[in-house]
Amino acid sequence: MSRYEVRIGGFGGQGIVTMAVVLGETLSLIDNKYVVQTQSYGPEARGGASKSEVVIGDEEIDYPKVQRPDVFIAMSRAAYLEYVDGMREGGILIVDEDLVQIEGSLPSSVRVYKIPATRIADMEVGNKQTTNVVMLGALAAITGIVSVEGLKQRIAERWPRFKELNLKALELGLEAGRRAVESSQT
């Protein structure tokens, strides 16, 4: 993997910054990758779409901005519409299927995976604030870019008091991701 680009888009309160930070920490501290993790904000951010980005490499990252994402995780309609353009041919689009409809023209080679992350967090984990960890699990299962063991270790280090809750969210996200991959292959 010379360079791999992940973009996460959503709205305030969904924890997309934390999601990108935990992904970046796991990749660098545990999976021994180089990572640049970025948030860009304008004055229009409140109430609109926001995004976090992670650029991953085996060597030091020269250019920190995402150019054509390998993976785009869309967690709101506004973020989908704002950032879906520019996806790489053969890229991976992961959407929270309760919040995002596929609209407009995608390159036909883009693979789409639908994960009900907010619903899983709310109904199965019992805490909507774990939506971002559910989505991290789905990302790991779908792309394999980050180690599952690494995510478990980092989550346990980062949230010692909420470890069980977040590990449950991760596990359910992994299962949802695996199911999405299976159903895409049938």
The correct pick among 61, 81, 102, 148 for binding its own copies (CB under 8 A) is: 61
In whole angstroms, how close is the CB of 175 to its own copies at the nearest point?
29
Distances from the Cα of 129 to the Cαs of 54, 101, 115, 125, in angstroms?
Answer: 21, 22, 16, 10
Distances from the Cα of 128 to the Cαs of 34, 122, 154, in angstroms?
Answer: 31, 4, 20
Q: Please, which residue, 16 or 75, has the CB nearer to its own copies? A: 16
Binding of residue 156 to its own copies (CB under 8 A): no
Binding of residue 60 to its own copies (CB under 8 A): yes
Binding of residue 127 to its own copies (CB under 8 A): no
The correct pick among 3, 29, 122, 127 for binding its own copies (CB under 8 A) is: 29
Sign of the C-alpha dihedral computed for residues 175, 177, 181 and 186 taken in this order:
positive
Residue 78, number of CB atoms within 10 A of its CB: 18
Q: Which residue has the tokens 């984990």?
A: 125
Binding of residue 40 to its own copies (CB under 8 A): yes
Rounded distance, CA 91 to CA 142, Å? 12
Binding of residue 38 to its own copies (CB under 8 A): yes
Q: Please, which residue, 43 or 104, has the CB nearer to its own copies? A: 43
Binding of residue 19 to its own copies (CB under 8 A): no
Binding of residue 160 to its own copies (CB under 8 A): no
Strands 3-10 and 71-74: parallel
In whole angstroms, how close is the CB of 14 to its own copies at the nearest point?
14
The correct pick among 6, 8, 16, 35 for binding its own copies (CB under 8 A) is: 35
Collect all residues with Cβ–Cβ distance below 8 Å to 27 and sequence separation of at least 6: 33, 35, 54, 56, 145, 146, 150
Residues lying near its own copies in the complex (CB under 8 A) are found at: 12, 17, 21, 24-25, 27-29, 32-43, 45-46, 60-61, 64-65
